[in-house]
Amino acid sequence: ETMHNSSKIPLGALSLIFFALFSAPAMTWAAEENLSTQQAHSEAKFIFDQDGFVPGQKVRAGLKIKMDPKWHTYWLNPGDSGAPIIFDWKLPPGWKAGSIHFPPPERIATPPLETFGFEGEIILWTDLMTSTASTEAKIQLDAEWLVCADVCIPAIFSFSQTLQPRAQIQKNSHWHLFNTAEAMEPQLSKDAQGRYDLDGNHGILHLNTPTDWKLIDLFPGPQSRWANRATTFQNESPGLWKIQIAASKIEHPPKSERILFQYTNARNETHFSWVEVSSNSTQNLWWVLMMAFLGGLILNLMPCVFPLISIKIFSLLKESKGHVSNLRKANLLYSLGVLVSFWTLGFLLFSLRSQGEALGWGFQLQSPHFVIFMILLLTLMAFSFLGWFEVDLNSKTTGQWMNKTGPLGHFLTGVLSTVVASPCTAPFMGVALGFALSQPLPQMLAVFTSLGLGLSFPYLVLSIHPAWTKLLPRPGAWMETLKTFMAFPLLATVIWLSWFLSFQVSPFSLSMVWTALLILSLAIWSRRYVFKSSLLGRRLLSAFLFLIAFVLPYWTLKASTESSPPPDEVLENSESEVIWQKFSPQKVEALRQEGRAVFVDFTAAWCITCQVNKQVTFKNQQVIEFVKSQQIQMLLADWTRRDPVITQTLNKYQRAGVPFYLFYPADPSKSAVILPEVLTPDLFIESIGGHL
């Protein structure tokens, strides 16, 4: 292939034009029946998938091209040289031709050039949509292709065929060839997405794929931002790839494009899939950071955070009667606690996902061990607010923590606020978190920092303008009453944690948690009424009871979680009269193939927003009647326990937590519709109604 020109269409393409200009007069362009041609080093045959056509229905038509050994033709992006195959259809009135369908290409190296094309025999085809007229139709295809080895030879020919109308499809011997070609054509992946960063003439692709993909090669599309050179693939973790590649020199590259990837799966089978790759520009990052900040700010109003926010407000009232510097220090330490805990969550998520764990936002609440610890800790805090005990172990910092005063207390209040907030997904947070979990660590931590700044923003403002605390009520004796009242939101949180723990563990394990709370109460009682004359005796007994209270649930949990029954395949809610089936990607595809529209509720027992949406929307009679009248199948994706399939689906749509709602139209060719995170009956019906 003697071409050493850096332009996109070098010598081979020029020879194609030369041949067209000087040979056209000698060719038979309007022959009545031209179905095949023998060209230099290639032969081509004009084929259809049926004899005749059924008016108003599709016909597949194309070329079967066979090349001599060691000769090749080109893909839709030929690479550094060559020219793509061209189809020019001349059709009867009312007929329409689609685009050319190509099989997967192979990389053809002719140093210093890289080209993409085919050797041997290929089928290139197009869908022809016929008119409703029942008259014979003359179909003409003017085709041009370039065949190359050490030199390039153009091939130009005009094919024609007359088709007769039929009452029904009459398949011919080529039908199975088209089926095979159609099966080989790469499709756009629904399970992989990519973003890129561009630095001058070099780029980095960040690709999220199914965990069993092993990338082999990539093929940029036509007019691509990327150069055609072979590159290396760095597998940072299962399903997360980093690809370094040179940028092309086209003047106006697209901001988003599709790249064809070659890969093997878990069965070591080779496949090709198109992947949508979009810009990961600084502008996009700033937009995501703004959404994360707004989401964190709104998080202050979410019910899951209220118990801890109420404690912080009480602390503000207490500090407002002191020196301004103390108030500023308290708010800054609280904000630092929020930020440090968000950074810790970010590091944990990145580390665990790098090791192949399928995790998302709120992952810690999918662990019964963590939930049990939170139940015990919040109960202990509530008892302290009720004045049932004061920690006095000659440990100043411990006392400060439990009473929510002092530097450590303010810092730990921020930490606890973040931990309790993690089940909630406020508006704007879903997109921001989904973006964060698909990014390298620096960008991921930037998003988590923005979330933390949003959550702590009101207190940072009070640090800058402490005089605004004068708007709060004046401290007084009523604060002691408020302090005891604050115990009840904490106990309400304990009830909520216990409720969704019941979905994670067996009834016996749950009873052991409640037994631990009883022992915890006994430990507190013993500090006041047992061994009054012996301080050491009181401490030893209470320490022993505290140890039992914190060990018992975990000791019994190990023996019982394995026997927990799996969720039912079909879940019918008798109150709502809506039948919910268990979600799986395979079930979604099967239902859509049957012509059914599908709605998927990605939810969790520990997600308060999910539970509110359930009561307000999914049990609304208007919604129930709408679902039944439209025959929408409702699927439940329960993320209360860790579920890699659900996590992978969330990642596919750039989401990291719940609630998340997807509506799949009955037509499988249509994309899924993402609904808002906060739903009302009218919003649910309006969002879906336009896509039925």
Are 11-184 and 187-280 in the same CATH fold? yes
Which CATH homologous superfamily contains domain 570-689?
Answer: Glutaredoxin (3.40.30.10)
Report d(CA 202, CA 248) in Å as an integer: 9
> Cα dist. 23→18, 34, 82, 143, 318 in Å?
8, 17, 20, 14, 94
- How far apart are the C-alpha atoms of 553 and 339, rounded to whole Å? 31
Q: How confident is the model at residue 415 (pLDDT cuts 50, 70, 90)?
A: confident
- String of DSSP letters for 87-123: EEEE--TT-EE-PPB----EEEEETTEEEEEEESEEE
More confident site: 187 or 200? 187
| Structure confidence at residue 448 (pLDDT) | 92
pLDDT of res. 328: 81
Q: Are strands 256-264 and 240-246 parallel, antiparallel or unpaired?
A: unpaired
- The verdict on whether omega for the bond into residue 466 sits within 30 degrees of 0, i.e. cis, is no
Residue 308 has pLDDT above 90, yes or no: no
Q: Give residue 77's pLDDT.
A: 87
SS3 579: strand
pLDDT digits (tens, 9 = 90+) for 464-489: 877 776 666 666 677 678 778 878 88
pLDDT band at 352 (very low <50, low <70, confident <90, very high): confident
Residue with the bigger pLDDT between 163 and 667: it is 163
Is residue 159 within 8 A of residue 35, CB to CB? The reply is: yes
> How much is the pLDDT for 432?
80
Locate the domains of the chain by residue range: 11-184, 187-280, 285-504, 570-689
The secondary structure element, H or E, covering residue 481 is helix 478-485
Task: Tell me the average pLDDT of the chain.
Answer: 80
Q: How far is CA 123 from CA 64, 141, 173, in A?
A: 4, 15, 14
- Checking if the pLDDT of 340 tops 90, the result is yes
Which residue from 258, 259, 270, 277 is spatially nearest to 214, judged by alpha carbons?
270
Judge if pTM exceeds 0.85: no
Q: Mean per-residue pLDDT for 269-279? A: 89
Listed residue (335, 288, 337) closest to 437, CA to CA: 288
Residue with tokens 């502008």: 283
Instruction: Please say if the pLDDT value at position 187 is more than 80.
Output: yes
Q: Residue 417 corresponds to which tokens in the numbers above? A: 């606020």
pLDDT of residue 251: 44
pLDDT in the model for residue 400: 44
Q: What is the pLDDT of residues 165-181, one digit of tens each?
A: 999 999 999 999 999 99
Distances in Å between the alpha carbon of 308 and those of 344, 377, 496?
A: 19, 13, 14
Predicted pLDDT of residue 1: 43
DSSP string, 533-551: T-HHHHHHHHHHHHHHHHH
Give the confidence band of 2 by pLDDT, cuts at 50, 70, 90.
very low
**Stretch 190-210: mean pLDDT:** 80
Question: Which residue has better confidence, 532 or 510?
Answer: 510
Higher pLDDT, 302 or 260: 260
pLDDT of 563 above 50:
no
Q: Which of 79-83, 330-334, 504-508, 660-664 has the lowest mean pLDDT?
A: 79-83
Asked if 409 and 401 count as a contact pair (C-beta separation under 8 A), the reply is: yes
On the question of pLDDT at 675 being above 50, the answer is yes
Which of 74-78, 358-362, 457-461, 587-591 shows the lowest mean pLDDT across its residues?
358-362
- Residue 410: is it exposed, middle or buried by C-beta count within 10 angstroms (0-12/13-18/19+)? buried
Backbone φ and ψ of 685, nearest 5°: -70, -40
Instruction: Give the residue, 21 or 336, on which the prediction is more confident.
Output: 336
**Band of pLDDT at residue 561, cut at 50, 70 and 90:** very low
3-state secondary structure labels for all residues of 421-434: HCCCCCCCHHHHHH
Q: What per-residue confidence (pLDDT) applies to 227?
A: 77
- Greater confidence, 423 or 634? 634
More confident residue, 336 or 248: 336
Measured between its terminal Cα atoms, the distance across the chain in Å is 53
Compute φ and ψ for 323, nearest 5 degrees.
Answer: -75, 150
CA 172/CA 232 separation, integer angstroms: 45
- Statement: residue 567 has pLDDT above 90: no
- What's the pLDDT score for residue 249? 55
What average pLDDT does the segment 430-456 reach? Answer: 84
With 90 as the cut, is the pLDDT of residue 343 above it?
Answer: yes
Position 101 scores a pLDDT of: 93
The pLDDT tens digits of the residues spanning 497-517 come to 888 888 888 888 888 899 999
pLDDT above 70: residue 392 = no
Residue 186, pLDDT above cutoff 90: yes
Residue 223 backbone class (left: φ over 0; alpha: ψ -120 to 50; beta: rest): left
Assess contact for 661 and 655: CB atoms under 8 A. no
Q: Identify the CA nearest to 370 among candidates 420, 406, 434.
A: 420
Under 8 Å CB-to-CB from 171, ≥6 apart: which residues? Answer: 49, 50, 51
The band of 436, judged by pLDDT with boundaries at 50, 70 and 90, is: confident
User: What percent of the chain clears pLDDT 70, i.e. is strictly above it?
Assistant: 79
Query: What is the CA 123 to chain-centroid distance, rounded?
Result: 35
Distance, CA of 90 to CA of 79 (rounded, Å): 29
Q: What is the CATH number of domain 187-280?
A: 2.60.40.10
More confident residue, 116 or 22: 116
Token pair of 460 as six digits: 């940072």
553 or 14, which is more confident: 553
Give 56-89 pLDDT, tens digit per residue: 999 999 999 999 999 999 998 888 777 788 888 9
Q: What is the mean pLDDT of residues 278-296?
A: 77
Of 200-214, 522-536, 622-636, the least confident: 522-536
Place of tokens 């020219």: 83
Residue 208 C-beta-side C-alpha neighbours within 13 Å: 25
Q: What is the 3-state secondary structure (H, E, C) of 367-430?
A: CHHHHHHHHHHHHHHHHHHCCCCCCCCCCHHHHHHHHCCHHHHHHHHHHHHHHHHCCCCCCCHH
| Residue predicted with more confidence, 237 or 91 | 91
Confirm or reject CATH 3.40.50.11720 for domain 11-184, answering yes or no.
no
Closest CA to 641 of 602, 610, 604: 604
3-state secondary structure 157-226: EEEEEEECECCCCCECCCHHHHHHHHHHCCEEEEEEEEEEEEECCEEEEEEECCCCCEEEEEEECCCCCE
Tell me what pLDDT residue 637 has: 92
Q: Check pLDDT > 90 for residue 358.
A: no
